[in-house]
Structure 1
Amino acid sequence: MAGPQGEIETLIGLMARLPGLGPRSARRAVLHLLKKRDLLMAPLAAAMARTAATTRDCAICGNLGSDELCGICTDPKRSTGEICVVEDVADLWALEQSGAFRGRYHVLGGTLSPLDAVGPDDLRIPDLVARVIDTSTTEVILALPATVDGQTTAHYLADALAPTGVAVSSLAQGVPVGGELDYLDEGTITAALRARRRF
């Protein structure tokens, strides 16, 4: 397809690659942006270009920011003894939003996945081990997904960190706050029973 229509279809195709957007949602979003070209599309395009040019990975933890080190890694009020390991930056941001963790983070950049040929050297696992050895880390908290790949990664990390002597823990799994048992799947209920504690 030639001309402007081809450019629109290209934009729709790119938008459809975003998480949570399929072809229909992408088409609606693009048409809305085109209707509000001056109010939305031009500022959005400019903001995206600026963000692409200035955003970088933190040299220590892998978080996103505009400097070599992110604000969490340079914050002197953060605990240096605890490192919370997450799969990606979205998980880090979710934990930060909760305000429950005041230590440092380490973003792996994914999970081990033999089917997708993702091994330890494809992730930031060697960086984590070196970081634990080089710092005064007392505990590594594994905040990885409760999937097969997430749990495989957690076991691999526990084994890789064992020679350092650091304490390794993982997040509790089970019934969410406000959750009702009849809405939960069997795996969640099983995990909750195994992680039970004295009342």
Structure 2
Amino acid sequence: MTFDVAGSATRAMHDRSAAWRFIEGFAAAWAEPIEARDGWNQADLDAAEHRLGVRLPDAMRDAYALFGKRPDLTSNQDWLLTPSELRRDGELVVFRRESHTGTSWGAALDSPDPAVVHEAERGWEPWLPHFSAACVELVLSEALFRDEAVTADREMSAVDISLLEDHFSLLPLRSPGARWFVSDDVIVREDAAQWLWARARTPEALETLAERLPGEWATD
């Protein structure tokens, strides 16, 4: 099954519904199709709201109801908190945690599809302007670390930036310190011009990546 990652991601940056269509399309092409049982029911989300004493943003409810029970999409490296694990931090709802440092992601409570912030040394800092866009980034990031997937990573070299820009399409998804590139059947994340993480749909696609970006790729 083919899936236009670049085009669908571009639409997802401007339209919450398009973000959910991206995640459904990506899951079908790169993992397994999303089914009705893969989301939390409304009673679970209502209970979380009652416990927290706030109304969850509409986009957060949408995401949890669509794919919140799919750890292969949400929790390979870091993890999406369950409704019972969501917590308040002032006017934020913390919904995701990083596996090694304990860093968290939180969503504001001020709009249906609010901004997402990331916990850093100086406190909460901007991550992405909409929760739905953060879900696209989450699913792409977790795809890089899925067990038994075709993945690779390596340190960047001086020529990698120009090669990336020559051979891949840049996604309009700019979380701090990272850029995303795609081509047919390959996704690459560049972290702070220091490290590359890649996911391919097939071993042949990974071989093509290694030809376009030669270097000492580590594979599982």
TM-score exceeds 0.5 = no
Larger proportion of strand: 2
Query: More relative contact order in 1 or in 2 (CA 8 Å, sep 6+)?
Result: 2
Give the TM-score, by structure 1 length.
0.28
Give the TM-score, by structure 2 length.
0.26
Larger proportion of helix: 1
Greater Rg, structure 1 or structure 2? Answer: 1
